[in-house]
Amino acid sequence: MVLFNHAAHQMAAKIVYYGPGLCGKTTNLSSIYGKTSSKARGEMVSLNTDTDRTLFFDLLPMDMGMIWGFRTKLQLYTVPGQVFYNSTRKLVLKGADGVVFVADSQAQMLEANRESLRNLAANLEELGMDIRTIPLVFQWNKRDLSNLVPVEELEQELNPKHLPSFCSVASAGTGVFETLKGIARQTLMHVKERHFTSAGAPVEEPEPKPEPIPVPPKKTVPEMKPALRGKLSIQAPHKPMVSVPAPRIRPVPPPVKPNIAVLKVTVVPPHVAARLPHPAVDAGRLPRNPAVVQKILNTIDSESTAV
């Protein structure tokens, strides 16, 4: 499925090279990689077995420049051709925008080509796609070898709908770019039909609507039996009585009366003390005679500073 980034004006399409084992799919991508400037392509990723057979896929990103106002990228993939890797083939095929069917032109490989084409149709169908509508081109590879099936026979056997087809020697780079251009044209025309208006403006896909959040159904009061209508009074729903322990209240102690003693201090300055009538005052002892004491106190009162 072609990917659009409308904000960045970019689009990317996925092209898958399909065909029987050893027909030359990986060789196609290696040849494109070797003959393209590093500006026009990314790095090629290959996941191979020990014997250099494709284990998972090869991937080669290609920059096709500006097309209809979009920077256009093609992601070229190959599938593993060996029969027992079918689940991987299906995985790689998922989301393809175009397919190159690479056939091995050798006579002994004709049945393997037929089988691989049937497998392509079946896998597309399982993925919800259709071999009759997906952009598809054929490549008759290994035309340099002997014991070849004539091109007319290959067309009849494998391409009865006369879709675009190309003869190639992938190992020598012959016919490889013609094939790539052929599938790029088919795929981009298909993208244009589906995603651009007749005036050439891209059709923005509407934002997918968020899944509605399920709302629990409202609880409805069951219909009252006619016989009971008018006989029932509305009552507050019965609530079971729950005994709650009384809260523990701590007795508040009565406010404590502060024991405030008012202390009157009398400071006797030295000049007053010197004129006191009794020398015992200096020693901190009061005379026993009340008259003398009173006289002392009067003197203190009149001449001292109360604090």
Ligand X SMILES: Nc1nc2c(ncn2[C@@H]2O[C@H](COP(=O)(O)OP(=O)(O)OP(=O)(O)O)[C@@H](O)[C@H]2O)c(=O)[nH]1
When CB distances are held under 5 to 8 angstroms depending on the partner's kind, the choice from ligand X, Mg ion, none that residue 142 binds is ligand X
Q: Please report how close the Cβ of residue 170 comes to ligand X at its closest, in angstroms.
A: 4
Instruction: Identify the residue among 12, 14, 15, 26 touching Mg ion (CB under 5 A).
Output: 26
**Closest to Mg ion by CB, 70 or 85:** 85
Give residues 6-25 in contact with Mg ion (rule: CB under 5 A): 25
27 in contact with ligand X (CB under 6 A): yes
- Nearest to ligand X by Cβ — which residue? 81
**Closest to ligand X by CB, 82 or 86:** 82
Question: Site mask, ligand X, residues 119-158, x = CB under 6 A?
Answer: ----------------------xx-xx-------------
Q: Please report how close the Cβ of residue 217 comes to ligand X at its closest, in angstroms.
A: 56
Query: What are the DSSP calls for 8-71, one per residue?
Result: TTEEEEEEEEE-STTSSHHHHHHHHHHHS-TTTB---EEEE-TTS-EEEEEEEEEEEEEETTEE
Distance CA 53, CA 30 (A): 13
Instruction: Identify the residue among 36, 46, 82, 86 touching ligand X (CB under 6 A).
Output: 82
Do residues 25 and 81 touch, judged by C-beta distance below 8 A? yes
Look-up of token digits 């026993």: 288
Identify which range of 36-44, 77-85, 86-94, 116-124 contacts ligand X by CB under 6 A. Answer: 77-85
Look-up of token digits 């298909």: 190
**Closest to ligand X by CB, 171 or 299:** 171
What tokens does 90 get? Answer: 């299906």
Q: 166: which residues sit within 8 A by CB, 6+ positions away?
A: 137, 138, 139, 140, 175, 178, 179, 182
21 in contact with ligand X (CB under 6 A): yes
Rounded to a whole number of angstroms, the CA Rg of the chain reads 52
Task: Describe the crossing of helices 151-158 and 110-126 by its angle, rounded to 10 degrees.
Answer: 30
Provide the CB-side half-sphere exposure for 294 (13 A, CA).
3
Do residues 141 and 24 touch, judged by C-beta distance below 8 A? yes
72 in contact with ligand X (CB under 6 A): no
When CB distances are held under 5 to 8 angstroms depending on the partner's kind, the choice from ligand X, Mg ion, none that residue 22 binds is ligand X
116 in contact with ligand X (CB under 6 A): no
**Closest to ligand X by CB, 54 or 159:** 54
Instruction: Identify the residue among 88, 171, 299, 304 touching ligand X (CB under 6 A).
Output: 171
139 in contact with Mg ion (CB under 5 A): no
CA torsion through residues 288, 289, 292, 294, sign: positive
- The site for Mg ion (CB under 5 A) is made up of 25-26, 54
- The site for ligand X (CB under 6 A) is made up of 19, 21-27, 53-54, 78, 80-82, 141-142, 144-145, 169-171
